[in-house]
Structure 1
Amino acid sequence: MPTPHLGTNLHRRAPLAKLTVSAVLALALSALFAVSPAWAADGQITGLAGKCVDVAAASDANGTPVQLYECNGTSAQKWSVSGDGTLRALGKCLDVVDRSTADGAAVQLWDCSGGANQQWVVTAAHDIVNPAADKCLDVRDNNSANGTRLQIWTCTGGANQKWDAPASGGGTPSGFVVSEAQFNQMFPNRNPFYTYSGLTAALGAYPGFAGTGSDTTRKQEAAAFLANVSHETGGLVYVVEQNTANYPHYCDGNQPYGCPAGQAAYYGRGPIQLSWNFNYKAAGDALGIDLLNNPWLVENDASVAWKTGLWYWNTQSGPGTMTPHAAMVNGAGFGQTIRSINGSLECDGRNPAQVQSRVDAYQRFASVLGVSPGANLYC
C-alpha cells in the first residue's frame, strides 16, 4: 500500500493572500442564514401533510408495513435515530423489504440485523436516505391519506420525501451525510483525537460542505474530503507531521507578522496537515481563531483541527484552479481535488502511487456511503 503523504501537501506553496473583508462577510452570512432542520418532538417523524411515519396497527411483528398516518402520539410513531445508523420503533428497525435497492421497494419493521437495508442518514436537507440504494424515504404516489405505504425512491426533492426527524440520542443531529457508524467503518484504526463529534461540530463553519446539490453530490463530496484526509493522516492516525526535522522550515520570515509562536511552531497538523505561518494566519483569520499565536490548538482541539481542514477544502485552490469543494459540486471530479491539495507534487505523472492511494480511499468511502464515485478520478 502506498505510504501516506503525512503532511507535505502545504509545505511548498507560495504565501496565501489575506482574505478580503467581503470574503469574510460572505462566510459569516452563509453561516447565519444556513437552514437548520426543525427536528420533530417526542420521537415522531413528520412529513407530507404533517402526518407521521407509523407502524401499522402498532405491531412489532417482522414484516409489519410502515406507513403515513395521522400523528397520535402512540408508540407506533416513536422513532429513535440510533448511533449505528438505524431508525428504530417498537424495538425493531426500519427495513427495506428484501434488501431491494429498486425504486418502489417498500419499507417495513424488522429485527435489527445491521444490514445495509437498515441504514439511514437524516440529512440537513430533510431527506432520510438509505445509502445502499442511494434513495430517499418516500410517500408512495405523493398520497397523504392515512395508511399510505412508505417506500424508497430516487431522491427528487419533492414534498413526499421531506421529513422532520428526531435527534439522535436526544441531542441535536448533525445533518451530515456520513453517520457515526459509517465514519467508524471508514477509520477503524483512527486516533481517538479525531472524533466524529469534533467533525460535526466543525460543519457549521462551512454549511455548503456536503450540503450542496443532490444527495449523490453531497455524499461524493463527503467521501472525497474524507479520502484525502485519510491519505494525509494515514487513516486519521497522525495528528502532527511525523518528520520533525522539517519543523523549523515552515516559518516564512518575509511575512510582516513573522512567527510569534516560534521558528519551529508551524509544522503540519490536523486532517489536512496545515503548515507554514501564513497558512495558520489565513485559516485563523477566516475562522476567528488566533492560530498564528497558538498553532497548538490544531493538535489539541478536534473541532479546530477539523475546521482547518474544511477551511482549506472550501476556500483554497492551492496548485489547482478551483477549490476541492467546487471540484465536487460542479462535477469536475475527484481528480481535481487531488490537484488542489497536492497537484504540484503528485499530478501529471509526478507520483502516480500517491494519486492511486487517494483514489482507492475515495472509492472505498463512496462504497460505504452507497454512492457512485463518478468520473474523472485521476489528475
Structure 2
Amino acid sequence: MMGLKKLFSAAMMFSAMAMGFVAQDAAAACRGNWAEGTAYSVGDGVSYNGGKYTALQAHTACVGCGWNPAATPSLWKTGGDCSGGTTPPPTEPPPSTGGKGIAAFLSESQFNQMFPGRNGFYSYSALVAAANTFSGFATQGSTDNQKREVAAFLANVAHETGNLVYIEEIAKSTMCDTSWGPPGCGCAAGKQYYGRGPIQLSWNGNYCAAGNALGVDLKNDPDRVARDATIAWRTGFWFWMTQTGAGSMTAHNAMANGVGFGETIRTINGALECGGRNPAQVQSRINNYTRFCQILGVSVGSNTGC
C-alpha cells in the first residue's frame, strides 16, 4: 500500500491532459467521427470505433493523449444518434516492436494473459490511454529496459491489487493527516483517503498531490479514483514517474537506468518490506515481475530484490 508520507517535487506540475475546456454555448450537433484536436460542446454526438457517444463536457480533444470517447467516461457517455463515416480510428495504438510506449511492448492479449481474473474496471484501453499521458514511461533507456519497466510497473500493481481484482482497499479508514502534503491540503468533510486504484493511492496528502499534478480535484472527490479507470491508472503512473517514496529515486528512473526491479519495491513500500522486514511480500512482487518478463520476452536483469 502506498501509505508513505513524502515531500512532493515540482515535477508534479503535469497539466490536466492538455485538454482545454471551452465555453459551453455552442449548439449540440452530430459531429461525425471523433477526432483529436477538435472542440466539442455538451451534447455533441460522435461515432468512434463503431460506437456512438455523446459529450458530457465541453472540451478540446487532446492531441496524442489517447483520450478517445471509449477511454474517457468523464467526458463522454455511450449512446446517441450520430452516425459517422466508415473508417473510425483504432481503439488504441496497435502493439509493434518499432513503436514507443507501453502499447509497443504489451498487447491486449498479453495483458489478459497476465491478469486472467482481473476486474473489468482495469481495462487495457484505459491503461494505454493513461500511460500515453506520461511520455517518459517505457520510452527511455534500452529496449530491454523499456520492456522491464512495463513488467515492473504491472508486477507491483498486481501485488497491490490482488492481480487487478481490488479497486479499493479492503480495510478502509479515513487516512487523514494534515501535517504533510501540498500547501492547503486538508481533508474534505466526510471523505476518506484509503487506498484506491492500481497502486492503492492513500492518504489525503497523496490524493491532493496527485490531483494537483493531473488537474483533477481528488481532495474533494477521492472516490473518482475508483470510478474512472483512466484516472485510476494515471494516479499509478503519477506515483511511478514522480515520487521517490522510501527510496532514493523514482521507480521509473530505477527501471529506465537499469538499477533494477528491487529499487521499485523500495520506492513503493520499502519501509515495510525491504531490508528483511517482509521477505514474503518482496518475493511476491519478484514472482510477478519474473512471470511478466517472460511474457514480454525479456530477461529480469540484475538486482531484483531489496
With normalisation by structure 2, the TM-score equals: 0.70
CA distance in 1, matches of 2:235, 2:91: 29
Partner of 1:324: 251
SS of the residue corresponding to residue 185 of structure 1 reads: helix
Match 2:146 to one of 218, 226, 239:
218
CA distance in 2, matches of 1:16, 1:235: 29
Q: What is the identity percentage for the equivalent residue pairs of Structure 1 and Structure 2?
A: 54
1:372–1:261 distance in 2 versus 1, CA, 3 Å: farther
Partner of 2:164: 236
**Higher-strand-fraction structure:** 1
1:328–1:277 distance in 2 versus 1, CA, 3 Å: same
Q: Do residues 305 (structure 1) and 296 (structure 2) align?
A: no
Partner of 1:350: 277
SS of the residue corresponding to residue 328 of structure 1 reads: helix
CA distance in 1, matches of 2:91, 2:203: 41
Equivalent position amino acid for 1:293 in 2: N
Equivalent position amino acid for 1:372 in 2: S
CA distance in 2, matches of 1:125, 1:196: 16
CA distance in 2, matches of 1:336, 1:325: 10
Partner of 1:178: 106
Q: Do residues 278 (structure 1) and 253 (structure 2) align?
A: no
Instruction: Measure how far apart 1:254 and its partner are.
Output: 3.4
Which is higher, the Rg of structure 1 or of structure 2?
1
SS of the residue corresponding to residue 151 of structure 2 reads: helix
Instruction: Measure how far apart 1:261 and its partner are.
Output: 4.8
Q: Deviations over 1:31-69 (max 9, x none)?
A: 89xxxxxxxxxxxxxxxxxxxxxxxxxxxxxxxxxxxxx
Equivalent position amino acid for 1:277 in 2: N
Partner of 1:134: none
Equivalent position amino acid for 1:314 in 2: M
The unaligned stretches of length 5 or more in structure 1 are 1-8, 33-80, 86-119, 127-173
Instruction: Measure how far apart 1:332 and its partner are.
Output: 0.7
CA distance in 1, matches of 2:213, 2:199: 16
1:323–1:31 distance in 2 versus 1, CA, 3 Å: farther
Q: Deviations over 1:210-243 (max 9, x none)?
A: 1112221111000000000000000000000011
Instruction: Measure how far apart 1:16 and its partner are.
Output: 2.9
SS of the residue corresponding to residue 209 of structure 2 reads: helix
Partner of 2:303: 376
Q: Do residues 121 (structure 1) and 96 (structure 2) align?
A: yes
Equivalent position amino acid for 1:207 in 2: S
Instruction: Measure how far apart 1:15 and its partner are.
Output: 4.3
- Aligned counterparts, 1:51-130, within 5 A: 121-125=96-100
Partner of 2:289: 362
Runs of 4+ residues over 4 Å off in structure 1: none
Instruction: Measure how far apart 1:82 and its partner are.
Output: 11
CA distance in 1, matches of 2:127, 2:247: 25
CA distance in 2, matches of 1:124, 1:261: 46
- Tell me if structure 2 keeps the 8 A contact 1:31–1:207: no
The unaligned stretches of length 5 or more in structure 2 are 20-89
Give the RMSD, CA atoms, in angstroms.
Answer: 2.5
Partner of 2:2: 10
CA distance in 2, matches of 1:15, 1:326: 17
Instruction: Measure how far apart 1:24 and its partner are.
Output: 4.8
Equivalent position amino acid for 1:269 in 2: R
Q: Deviations over 1:315-363 (max 9, x none)?
A: 0010000000000011110000000000000001000000000000000
Instruction: Measure how far apart 1:125 and its partner are.
Output: 3.7
Partner of 2:263: 336
SS of the residue corresponding to residue 205 of structure 1 reads: coil
With normalisation by structure 1, the TM-score equals: 0.57
1:364–1:190 distance in 2 versus 1, CA, 3 Å: same
CA distance in 1, matches of 2:212, 2:176: 18
Equivalent position amino acid for 2:188 in 1: P
Matched residue pairs, number? 231
Equivalent position amino acid for 2:240 in 1: W
